Structure 1
Amino acid sequence: MTTAGLVLAAGEGKRFGGPKAPYVHNGQRLVDRAVQVLAEAGCDPVFVVLGAWIGEVPKATVLENMNWATGMGSSLQVGLATLNGESEIDEVLVSLVDLPGLTSAAVTRVVNSPGEIVVACYDGKRGHPVKFARATWPELAASATGDQGARSFIANHPEEIVLVEVGDVATGEDMDERPS
């Protein structure tokens, strides 16, 4: 199985005070750390969807979401549209740029778990990353709207969800606000 990584990083970060992708946390840009974690877990290739901020991201293919202001759903659509043209890719692991507590150990568990929809859980609470098999992509893209991203798609397919506990090796907390 070939698993691509897809980092959603196009938002303007209103509560954060600016785009999160270029923000340096613990000596590393959030976007570079997100790519590194996915690559270390075996995601290859790794794509990053940017929008409000555009810049170079080494070790990843940058995709530009011209409609970034409409929400995360459009970024997911941009990523899936690109992946559809990559016939050797069997599944995609979707993550967010603002998860500094995500580890390659957690991502590896999700990547290595079989299922159509595999969701990381932190002490029983669902979070990111989420892995989607290729067969799900058309419906996933069609249902991705606004800032809901894949939520409605996942909610409509409870029987296909595999939950993978990763709370012992990572935290699922996102950075909604800049650290003080």
Structure 2
Amino acid sequence: MKMMRLSVRLYVFFVFTAVLVWCFAGCSGGDQKPDQQKGHQLAKKASTTDNFLSYTAALTKLPLSKFDNLGIVSTNKAFADKLPISIYKGEAIGHDSIIVHPYKIGEVAHIKAAIRLLVAQSITDSLTIGDFTRYFGDIKKEKPLIGNTETPLPVEITVDANTALKLTFNNNKKLALAHVTMVEILKYR
């Protein structure tokens, strides 16, 4: 009889201990380390960068006939929940959104139409030239026609025979680490 009471008490003790451990193990509380929080923020920035690159790629695939305000509406709707996008309509727009400005050029430098994307400051902080070269390919090499300038000249990436990207960026010693401030998608045909 004593043996049975001892085994029941031992069984209750282990069950009670297991329940307590299980309850406290489920609590996340404020014990998250700063490194884990930074990792979460970096993952969020990375996803914003990836979304912006995907948005840019979707715009590069548009035909020349769709390079206007009406043509980019469906692309903007597809990315509206992922990126802060605003179409430029002649008035100032806040710095917290990507400003999209499609325009027709005509026959200047054989460029028919273009879309200018002014990158929001929150995205610029994580968007680099290196991200674009990994996603779209190498930068078109050109000989500089003028000497050093305070603001670096834009670089160009050829996407295909009809499309190119022109990237404006902040000054940085390493080109791959320079932050992109504006992207122009140029259509030749």
Flag the structure with higher helix content. Answer: 2
Higher relative contact order (CA 8 A, sep 6+): 1
Larger radius of gyration: 2
| TM-score > 0.5 by shorter chain | no
- TM-score, normalisation: structure 2: 0.29
